[in-house]
Amino acid sequence: MNLAPWQVELDAARDLWADRVALCSNLAELRSVQVDALGKNGAVTALVRRIGEVANADKRAYGQASAALKLVCETAIADKQTALELAEVAAELADDTFDVTLPPAAVLAQKPRAPGQSGGQSGGQSGGQSGGQQLGHLHPLCRVQTDVEAVFTSMGFAVLDYPEVESEFNNFESLNIPGWHPARDMQDTFWLDNGLLLRTHTSSGQVRAMHTFAPPFRAIFAGKVFRYEATDASHEHTFHQLEGLLIDRVVSVGHLLDSMRTLLSAILRRDVQVRLRPGYFPFVEPGFELDLQCQLCAGAGCSACKQSGWLELLPCGLVHPQVLRAGGLDPAQWQGWAFGLGLSRLAMMRYGIGDVRHLLSGDARFLAQF
């Protein structure tokens, strides 16, 4: 039985393209074969389109056969592509021309394009810094933290560092917040698989510090804290705090006021007015909210301070005897003050950052400003 001429032609095309795909040794070749066969002006595409020239009686058979040809080509190309990709990665993994021991200075001193060698690439090379021609960027949170720590260091405060994964005891119990205490409602907590938690405040370091240092001492400790809370422009489940703790024989509200005014003036680089008002925190007694006199209106009242003349800045107070006890100190012998400063908030205030989410976004467009 003789085959129709178009049938011979389709069979030949199938063999041809199968061979050409099989002969491809890299992805670029395969891509060009794909264009030649299946592109808009590809040979196989043209065969499929030729159905218009086929006699009516053969149209159905031609249609089926040409579609089958197209499918065979597509499948072969896809299979080949997978194989080549695997081979490419395998070749890369096997390649031994890379030398991890090259001294970085020597590599970076080389200009990216040696003269006379075009290498087939275009464009300048902007990023290959060498020898510090280009300065990087400090994160705004770290800028603020470094500044604040410098102020405290200059005033004789120890600078400490404590873990983010904490025990329930250090985060709650030692701070006079037992399990059933309603204060735990305020502190929505991330609990971990092993029964530990992510600290909800840097106050978790208070008892650690008391156990580490012989009184009297004064210390600050900053870091990430975590709250189980939905994220929006002014709320983050992860933010930065700085805790301050001072232990001495006699510590009064007057001492607290003095320290806060002095420290905040140094941190904010201006003479500040502060006021204390009652605030409830289980780990201090008495406890305060410290308000900062509004800088914009100097206390007269404006829209920034909701007409009150004051901005709520930080909670503070005299250390609760129960916390001293948990820290192994005798409340009859030792007293203290403590405060918690929101570093994220301070950074936002200082740099006019309107959305807390920028801070941990890692976005170079944001960070390149610092």
Name the minimum Å distance from CB 316 to other proteins. Answer: 11
Of residues 70 and 320, the one with the C-beta less far from other proteins? 320
Q: Rounded CA gap, 293 and 272, in Å?
A: 7
As a whole number of Å, the end-to-end CA separation of the chain is 82
As measured in angstroms, the least distance from the Cβ of 31 to other proteins is: 5
- When the beta carbons of 54 and 349 are compared against other proteins, the nearer one is 349
| Beta carbons of 347 and 148 less than 8 angstroms apart | no
Bridge-based pairing of strands 335-342 and 238-248 is antiparallel
Taking the least distance from each CB to other proteins, the nearer of 75 and 130 is: 130
- Of the pair 66, 170, the CB lying nearest other proteins is at 170
Query: What's the chain's Rg over C-alpha atoms?
Result: 35
How far apart are CB 339 and other proteins at their closest, in Å? 13
* Complex with other proteins: residue 1 or 364, whichever CB lies closer: 364
**CB atoms inside a 10 Å sphere around CB 359:** 23
Pick between residue 63 and residue 128 the one whose CB is nearest to other proteins. 128
Q: What is the C-alpha to C-alpha distance for residues 219 and 319, in angstroms, rounded to an integer?
A: 14
Q: In angstroms, give the least distance from the CB of 187 to other proteins.
A: 11
∠ CA 237-238-241, rounded to 5°: 125
Per DSSP, the three-state class of 268 is helix
Q: H helices within 291-363, ranges in order?
A: 321-326, 343-351
Return the H-helix or E-strand segment holding 159.
Answer: strand 158-160
Task: Report in angstroms how near the CB of residue 286 gets to other proteins at its nearest.
Answer: 3
